[in-house]
Amino acid sequence: MQNLWQTFIRTTTLAVFLASATWAAVLAVSVPPGESGGGYVILGDNSDDADYVSIEIAPLGVRGLVLDRGTNAKADDFMVIKTNVDWKLTVEDTSGGFANTTGFMEPYVSGAYVDEVGDELANRFAVLVVGVDDNDGLLTNATDLSLGPVEIVQGNSTGDLEKTVYLRYSQNVSGKEVTGDYGINLTYNLSINK
């Protein structure tokens, strides 16, 4: 069985946009595989009772995930959410490129995507929601990232507690794939759920 090597890129965006003409808060956190990161956004006037959302990203160790032809490659991941407002988490493929097929892993060479028609893996990349600590909302698997942002989890305020969202990345690999590095940019968006 010949292996394909997977290059995986994950970006988490913590973004909040409210119906205020005077302010909006945005924080982007880029978390490469094997590293951790996070972000915290206070909404409004920075007072002690202001609304906030935060997300922490665990080290993601899928740099060594091997895509074998004829198998389903999987890697587990998790994120920690803390917020005093109702929230939702979306995911989307933001790989970009003229010929990029959204929702599919594309050839990734020397730190950039190869931008040719028909060069993506045959099967869609999926983000599966394995579970949430004390689930109080929607859980949806993102099996079709071509739809744009897919809402995968929503929940109530966590108060002073943290909520862990457990995810599984899944890539079915056909028996006819071309050997090489493949990647996908996943952007997560944590926002207020009104």
pLDDT confidence band for 99 (50 / 70 / 90)? low
Each residue's pLDDT tens digit, 117-155: 888 899 999 988 887 877 666 677 888 888 888 988 888
Q: Please, are residues 18 and 79 in contact by the beta-carbon 8 Å criterion?
A: no
Between CA 79 and CA 87 the distance in angstroms is 14
pTM attached to this predicted model: 0.79
Q: Which two tokens stand for residue 147?
A: 């739809």
For the chain, domain boundaries: 3-192
pLDDT confidence band for 191 (50 / 70 / 90)? confident
Long-range contacts made by residues 31-38, C-beta under 8 angstroms, separation at least 24?
31/57, 31/60, 33/8, 33/9, 33/60, 33/61, 33/62, 33/63, 34/59, 34/60, 34/61, 34/63, 35/59, 35/60, 37/12, 38/80
Between CA 15 and CA 78 the distance in angstroms is 19
Per residue in 161-184, is it b (16+ CB within 10 Å) or e — as a string?
Answer: eebebebbbbbbbeeebeeebbbb
pLDDT confidence band for 168 (50 / 70 / 90)? confident
Each residue's pLDDT tens digit, 59-95: 554 554 678 889 888 888 888 888 888 888 888 888 8
Each residue's pLDDT tens digit, 9-22: 555 554 444 434 34
Average pLDDT (28-42) is 58
Give the pLDDT of residue 100.
Answer: 72
Give the pLDDT of residue 157.
Answer: 87
Give the pLDDT of residue 2.
Answer: 47
Helices (H), 29-177: none
